[in-house]
């Protein structure tokens, strides 16, 4: 699920590249989305790469490749590019799957809140569950946490979103994880290992990277998806 800014940027990049291979510059993207700085564009691009909509190509200037377009996007009539054709297939397939999954709901435990900001003590609500579309879940054990804070907005994770977490105890560098610090604080951050230390990295320039000795941090899950309800 994309935010409006992420969707607008993805469509802008695609339409600018429809007549050639060169992606728009960061300045062009910034002006098109009416943002004040290019750092916001960088965070939006990282979120789109993470979600599989964009791909960075090595050793090329402005090295972006649009892998797929947002659901519901209709390419221009004159747009016969390979990406557009794939987008039509993806859109049709997504619509079909949506029809098939509309009545398929899974219930997973809602364990409480997780900080996307300064780590807070985990709040567990035993016995509470939340219904999720089955299409968001794969194999494995899952649970849900309510996001409290704004330190991960650059990854498209907003305050009060429901984070769907796959229960694991290991993760790769770059994964967004549920990290338990000192057996008492829990936070949602991007993971990076450096020697015997672990960095917990926010996706908001207003927050600083926090570094801990490896033994102080336990991975309790990796982010599988974000569920946002609009009221």
Mapping DSSP to helix (H, G, I), strand (E, B) and coil, where does residue 203 land?
coil
Q: Looking at the annotation, which residues are catalytic?
A: 151, 189
Q: Answer with the residue of higher pLDDT: 72 or 25.
A: 25
pLDDT one-digit tens code per residue, 115-139: 876 554 444 555 688 887 777 677 8
pLDDT one-digit tens code per residue, 142-191: 988 889 899 999 999 999 888 889 999 999 999 999 999 998 888 999 99
Q: Which of 138, 137, 125, 124 is nearest to 186 (CA)?
A: 124
Fold for domain 4-100? Arc Repressor Mutant, subunit A (1.10.10)
Mapping DSSP to helix (H, G, I), strand (E, B) and coil, where does residue 92 land?
helix
Distances from the Cα of 81 to the Cαs of 19, 66, 135, 143, in angstroms?
9, 11, 29, 40
pLDDT above 90 coverage of the chain, percent: 26
pLDDT one-digit tens code per residue, 13-35: 888 877 665 778 888 888 888 88
The model carries a pTM of 0.53
CATH of 105-227, one of 3.90.330.10, 3.50.50.60, 2.10.109.10, 1.20.1600.10: 2.10.109.10
User: For the chain, where do the domains classified as CATH 2.10.109.10 start and end?
Assistant: 105-227
Distances from the Cα of 158 to the Cαs of 91, 147, 180, 222, in angstroms?
25, 7, 20, 17
Q: Which of 36, 57, 35, 53 is nearest to 45 (CA)?
A: 53
d(C-alpha 126, C-alpha 85), whole Å: 47
Q: pLDDT at position 189, please?
A: 95
User: For the chain, where do the domains classified as CATH 1.10.10.10 start and end?
Assistant: 4-100
- Provide the token pair at 76: 């221009």
165: which strand partners?
A: 143, 223
Q: By the 8 A CB rule, do 123 and 112 touch?
A: yes
Q: pLDDT at position 66, please?
A: 83
């Amino acid at each position: 699920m994309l935010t409006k800014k992420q969707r607008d940027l993805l469509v802008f990049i695609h339409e600018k590249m429809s007549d050639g291979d060169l992606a728009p510059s960061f300045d062009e993207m910034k002006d098109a989305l009416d943002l004040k700085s290019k750092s916001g564009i960088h965070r939006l691009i990282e979120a789109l790469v993470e979600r599989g909509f964009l791909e960075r190509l090595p050793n090329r200037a402005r090295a972006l490749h649009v892998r797929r377009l947002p659901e519901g996007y209709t390419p221009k009539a004159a747009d016969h590019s390979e990406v557009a054709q794939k987008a039509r297939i993806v859109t049709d397939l997504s619509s079909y799957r949506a029809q098939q999954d509309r009545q398929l709901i899974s219930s997973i435990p809602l364990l409480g809140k997780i900080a996307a900001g300064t780590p807070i003590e985990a709040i567990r609500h035993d016995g509470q569950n939340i219904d999720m579309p089955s299409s968001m879940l794969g194999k494995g054990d899952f649970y849900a946490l309510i996001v409290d804070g704004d330190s991960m907005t650059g990854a498209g994770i907003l305050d009060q979103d429901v984070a769907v977490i796959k229960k694991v105890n290991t993760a790769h560098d770059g994964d967004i994880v549920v990290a338990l610090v000192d057996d008492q604080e829990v936070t949602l951050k991007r993971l990076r290992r450096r020697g015997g230390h672990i960095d917990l990295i926010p996706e908001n320039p207003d927050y600083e990277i926090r570094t801990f000795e490896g033994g102080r941090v336990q991975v309790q899950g990796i982010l599988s998806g974000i569920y946002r309800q609009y009221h």
